[in-house]
Structure 1
Amino acid sequence: MSAFRLSGLPHATFQAMFDWPDEALAAAGARRCVATEDFGFPCRVSLEDARTGEALLLLPFEHQPAASPYRASGPIFVRRDAVQRVLPPGVVPPYVARRLISWRAYDPAHDMLDADVCEGENIADALERVFARGEVAYVHLHNARRGCFSCLASRVA
Structure 2
Amino acid sequence: MSFVITGLNSEEFSELNGLGAEALAARNVVVYEADAKPGFPCRVSLADAEVGERVFLLNYTYQPHETPYRASHAIFVRENAPEAPPYIGTIPLSLSSRLLSLRGFDKAHMMIEADIAEGEEVKPMLERFFANPEVNYVQLHYARRGCFAAAAHRA
Larger mean Cα displacement after TM superposition, 106-115 or 23-32: 23-32
Q: Which amino acid aligns with 2:34?
A: A
1:133-152 mapped onto 2 (5 Å cutoff): 133-152=132-151
Q: In the alignment, does 2:11 pair up with 1:12?
A: yes
| Cα distance in structure 2, aligned partners of 1:135 and 1:10 | 26
Q: Once the 2 structures are TM-superposed, how far is the Cα of residue 22 of structure 1 from its aligned partner? A: 2.9
| Cα distance in structure 2, aligned partners of 1:106 and 1:91 | 20
Q: Which amino acid aligns with 2:98?
A: R
1:98-117 mapped onto 2 (5 Å cutoff): 98-117=97-116
| Cα distance in structure 1, aligned partners of 2:65 and 2:119 | 26
Query: What's the TM-score, normalizing by structure 1?
Result: 0.93
Count of paired positions: 155
Q: 1:124 to 1:11 in 2, by over 3 A?
A: same
| Paired position in structure 2 for 1:97 | 96
Q: Which amino acid aligns with 1:68?
A: T
Percentage of identical aligned residues: 45
1:59-98 mapped onto 2 (5 Å cutoff): 59-98=58-97
Unaligned runs of at least 5 residues, structure 2? none
RMSD over equivalenced CA pairs, Å: 1.3
Q: Once the 2 structures are TM-superposed, how far is the Cα of residue 31 of structure 1 from its aligned partner? A: 1.4
Q: Is the 8 A contact 2:54 2:78 kept in 1?
A: yes
